[in-house]
Protein backbone atom coordinates (compact mmCIF):
# COMPACT_ATOMS: atom_id res chain seq x y z
CA UNK A 1 0.00 0.00 0.00
CA UNK A 2 1.24 3.47 -0.93
CA UNK A 3 0.06 6.66 0.74
CA UNK A 4 0.88 10.30 0.26
CA UNK A 5 -0.67 13.68 0.98
CA UNK A 6 -1.14 16.54 -1.43
CA UNK A 7 -2.20 20.12 -0.75
CA UNK A 8 -4.48 21.57 -3.44
CA UNK A 9 -2.96 24.64 -5.12
CA UNK A 10 -5.56 25.27 -7.86
CA UNK A 11 -7.50 28.46 -7.01
CA UNK A 12 -10.80 26.68 -7.78
CA UNK A 13 -9.93 23.51 -5.86
CA UNK A 14 -10.97 20.17 -7.35
CA UNK A 15 -13.58 21.12 -9.93
CA UNK A 16 -15.21 19.20 -12.79
CA UNK A 17 -12.54 19.37 -15.50
CA UNK A 18 -9.52 18.17 -13.48
CA UNK A 19 -11.71 15.73 -11.54
CA UNK A 20 -12.74 14.09 -14.80
CA UNK A 21 -9.17 13.87 -16.02
CA UNK A 22 -8.06 12.48 -12.66
CA UNK A 23 -10.70 9.75 -12.93
CA UNK A 24 -9.48 8.81 -16.41
CA UNK A 25 -5.90 8.64 -15.14
CA UNK A 26 -6.89 6.51 -12.14
CA UNK A 27 -8.93 4.16 -14.37
CA UNK A 28 -5.76 3.15 -16.22
CA UNK A 29 -4.64 1.15 -13.18
CA UNK A 30 -5.96 -2.00 -11.54
CA UNK A 31 -5.12 -0.76 -8.04
CA UNK A 32 -7.74 0.73 -5.77
CA UNK A 33 -7.10 4.48 -5.51
CA UNK A 34 -8.82 6.34 -2.68
CA UNK A 35 -8.86 10.05 -1.88
CA UNK A 36 -9.63 11.23 1.65
CA UNK A 37 -10.33 14.67 3.12
CA UNK A 38 -11.65 15.43 6.58
CA UNK A 39 -12.65 11.80 7.15
CA UNK A 40 -14.59 11.56 3.88
CA UNK A 41 -13.29 8.99 1.39
CA UNK A 42 -13.92 8.70 -2.31
CA UNK A 43 -12.94 6.35 -5.11
CA UNK A 44 -10.61 8.26 -7.47
CA UNK A 45 -12.14 6.38 -10.42
CA UNK A 46 -15.58 7.92 -9.83
CA UNK A 47 -16.03 11.60 -10.66
CA UNK A 48 -18.91 12.18 -8.24
CA UNK A 49 -16.89 10.67 -5.38
CA UNK A 50 -13.95 12.98 -6.20
CA UNK A 51 -16.19 16.05 -6.49
CA UNK A 52 -18.07 15.18 -3.26
CA UNK A 53 -14.88 15.66 -1.26
CA UNK A 54 -15.17 19.40 -1.96
CA UNK A 55 -11.41 19.93 -1.74
CA UNK A 56 -10.56 23.63 -1.93
CA UNK A 57 -7.30 25.48 -2.41
CA UNK A 58 -5.00 25.05 0.58
CA UNK A 59 -6.70 21.87 1.81
CA UNK A 60 -4.80 18.60 2.01
CA UNK A 61 -6.04 15.33 0.62
CA UNK A 62 -4.64 11.91 1.46
CA UNK A 63 -4.20 9.49 -1.43
CA UNK A 64 -4.08 5.74 -0.79
CA UNK A 65 -3.17 3.29 -3.55
CA UNK A 66 -3.40 -0.46 -3.03
CA UNK A 67 -3.06 -3.24 -5.58
CA UNK A 68 -0.80 -5.03 -8.00
CA UNK A 69 0.36 -1.89 -9.85
CA UNK A 70 0.32 0.46 -6.84
CA UNK A 71 3.82 1.86 -7.41
CA UNK A 72 3.08 3.00 -10.95
CA UNK A 73 -0.42 4.20 -10.04
CA UNK A 74 0.76 6.23 -7.03
CA UNK A 75 3.49 7.87 -9.09
CA UNK A 76 1.11 8.74 -11.92
CA UNK A 77 -1.58 10.16 -9.61
CA UNK A 78 0.95 12.23 -7.68
CA UNK A 79 2.40 13.64 -10.91
CA UNK A 80 -1.12 14.44 -12.15
CA UNK A 81 -1.99 16.28 -8.95
CA UNK A 82 1.22 18.33 -9.04
CA UNK A 83 0.65 19.27 -12.69
CA UNK A 84 -3.09 20.01 -12.54
CA UNK A 85 -4.25 20.76 -9.00
Residues known to be catalytic: 15
What is d(CA 76, CA 27) in angstroms, rounded to the nearest whole number?
11
Q: Any idea what DSSP says for residue 9?
A: -
For 76, residues 6+ apart whose C-beta sits below 8 A from its C-beta are 25, 28, 29
Amino acid sequence: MKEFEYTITDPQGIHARPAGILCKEAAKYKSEITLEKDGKKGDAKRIFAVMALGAKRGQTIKVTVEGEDENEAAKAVEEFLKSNL
